[in-house]
Amino acid sequence: MSENTLKQIIDTFDRYDDYLTPKLDRDIEEYRKGQFVLRFVAPDNTPAEDVHVSVRQLDHEFKFGCTLFHLDQFPDDERRQLYRDKFRQVFNYAVVPLYWDTLEPEQGKPRFEKDSVHVDRRPPLDLIMEYCTGHNIRMKGHCLVYNSFQPRWISQNNREIKIQIDRRLKAIADRYGDAFEDADVINEMLTIYKNCYPGNGARNLQITDERDHERWCFDLCRHHFPHTRLFWNEGIHETFGSSYKGHRSFYYMTIEKMLREGVPVEGIGMQYHAYTTKENAAQELSRCCHPLRLLDVFECYGEFGLPIHISETSIPSFTNEPDDEALQAELTKRLMKLWFGRKHCDSIVWWNLADNTAYHTENQFHAGLLREDCSEKPAYQIMDQLINREWHTELERNCGRELRFSGFYGNYEVTVTANGRTSVHTVRLCRDTTGYDNNRCDFRAVTLTV
């Protein structure tokens, strides 16, 4: 990557810096932080006095995610452990692979157990569950009724296909219950029309041609996963790419139609695979990374009031040369700040953590945050700096019977010393536990017995 190309791409963002920097700072302050009140009482419920308190944020309410497709997939123990450590250092949200062809290659024998036969980029679900629950990582299932990657044994009769899908979803729900906070119900549907048949490559779910297919998928998934938020996931071309036309975009109009008809679409997925060749990077990346277009997309789709996921992020570095990795890092920093401050953005998901762990030809873009040896790229360090330092709340002070402070939404560890006693508390300071209290005519208070 030449210095001129890097400068040209970054200048697309930075020419609007006078507008963007104060706006993004205000948006992050308004949408990602809250006003918190901690009240301290003695064991007899009388107000505590002369309190010394330290507050340390443990994690974010916002979901910083990545696919967990390569968990324990490396042949050597060193990279396996690095992958595990680097994942949980930055991410609190994992995308779990539910692709039907590799989850159930033999009918009636899904690969749930940890000792299931190895499949590349498809760790057994029990292994993923164990890792995520052990590190308080929330999960998103991807995807429940995809038009691609069906098992070889699937029927060619539409009624039988639906029965088989119903059984598949029931088996997942029976074993994992409410483990998935979110799930992609359907994926990449807008280019699908009479081309999902056996022999047409990966696109081989023929029931997608039925007029009520989307409704059928969402209704069935709502039945099996009543406490999981159900997402429609779509490609970059419809959101940040050349097909984006605001309210006239096919994706926008389709979601609008589904909601009007009562289809339980509860979240909007927007892929961000910024794949391009190195030679075309200046033109292509300047377009899909244009900050004014990005803001317009969120303003447009935000009208639905649904959570929006930047669901599949790939920003290329092309090689492991320093200049190429610098471009990836600079774009990552600018995009993360813009996305994090959007009101309805609920999650940012990177698609492949390490180089050479992507799907087939996608490896050519070197879009991982880690190199193939699992060493950190500058983009990973940017993510770590933003999530764990810049967007992090930590303070210590003396106070009276209560402490008021502004902080990022998330879980906190609070250490309190009062009357010669020290106690440690874990509190959840998020939108559903804070905010205005009508009875107090004040912010809600979390009471801690110290």
Model pLDDT for residues 316-336, shown as the tens digit of each residue: 999 999 999 999 999 999 999
* Alpha helix positions (H), 226-354: 236-239, 250-260, 281-288, 291-301, 322-340
Read off the pLDDT of each residue in 205-211 and give the average, rounded to a whole number: 95
According to DSSP, residue 333 is labeled H
Task: Show the CA angle centred on residue 163, arms to residues 101 and 167, nearest 5°.
Answer: 60
Instruction: Report the DSSP pairing between strands 345-350 and 229-234.
Output: unpaired
pLDDT at 420: 86
Token code pair at residue 289: 């990374």
Query: Which letter, b or e, does each residue of 135-155 get, where b requires 16 or more Cβ atoms within 10 Å of its Cβ?
Result: eebbbbbbbbbbbbbbbeebe
Residues linked to residue 33 through DSSP beta bridges, in sequence order: 408
User: What does the pLDDT read at residue 1?
Assistant: 58
Amino acid at 98: L
299/293 Cα distance (integer angstroms): 10
pLDDT reported for residue 136: 97
Burial grade of 112 (CB within 10 A; 0-12, 13-18, 19 or more): middle
Mean pLDDT of 79-101: 98
Domain ranges in the chain are 62-390
Provide mean pLDDT across the span 69-77.
Answer: 98
The answer to whether residues 323 and 3 touch, using CB atoms and an 8 Å cutoff, is yes
Which pLDDT value is given to residue 284? 83
pLDDT of 232-276, one tens digit each?
A: 999 998 889 888 999 999 999 999 999 999 999 999 999 999 999
Buried b / exposed e across 401-419, counting CB within 10 Å, b at 16+? bbbebebbbbbbebebebe
What CATH code is assigned to 62-390? 3.20.20.80
pLDDT for position 192: 83
Is residue 126 very low, low, confident or very high in pLDDT (cuts 50, 70, 90)?
Answer: very high
Residue 199 has pLDDT above 90, yes or no: no
- On the question of pLDDT at 60 being above 90, the answer is yes
Q: How far apart are CA 199 and CA 250, in angstroms?
A: 27
Please say whether the beta carbons of 409 and 433 come within 8 A. no
192: exposed, middle or buried (Cβ count in 10 Å: 0-12, 13-18, 19+) = middle
**Displacement of CA 285 from its chain's centroid (Å):** 22
Look at residue 287 in the predicted model and tell me its pLDDT: 81
Q: What average pLDDT does the segment 226-237 reach?
A: 96
Are the beta carbons of 316 and 282 closer than 8 angstroms?
A: no
Q: How would residue 190 be classed by pLDDT, with cut points 50, 70 and 90? A: confident
pTM over 0.95: yes
Residues paired with 59 in a beta bridge: 411
How would DSSP label each residue in 341-374? T-TTEEEEEES-SBTT-SSGGGGGG---SB-TT-
What mean pLDDT value characterizes the chain? 95
Tell me the helix, strand and coil percentages in the chain, rounded to 5.
40, 25, 35
Task: Give residue 389's pLDDT.
Answer: 98
Is 313 within 8 Å of 349 (Cβ atoms)? yes
Instruction: Give Cβ neighbours of residue 12 (< 8 Å, ≥ 6 apart).
Output: 286, 289, 290, 291
Q: What is the pLDDT of residue 186?
A: 97
Q: Are 56 and 392 in contact (CB under 8 A)?
A: no
Model confidence pLDDT, tens digit, residues 144-182: 999 999 999 999 999 999 999 999 999 999 999 999 999
Q: What is the pLDDT of residue 2?
A: 61
Q: How confident is the model at residue 3 (pLDDT cuts 50, 70, 90)?
A: low
Pairing label, strands 180-187, 138-142: parallel
> Are the C-beta atoms of 182 and 140 separated by less than 8 Å?
yes
Beta strands in 152-244 (DSSP E): 180-187, 229-234
The mean per-residue pLDDT over the stretch 207-221 comes to 96
Instruction: Determine which of 217-221, 287-291, 403-407, 446-450 has the lowest per-residue pLDDT on average.
Output: 287-291
Average pLDDT over residues 357-371: 96
pLDDT at 5 over 80: no
Residues 59, 84 contacting (CB under 8 angstroms): no
State residue 195's pLDDT score: 86
Q: Is the peptide bond before 143 cis (omega within 30 degrees of 0)?
A: yes
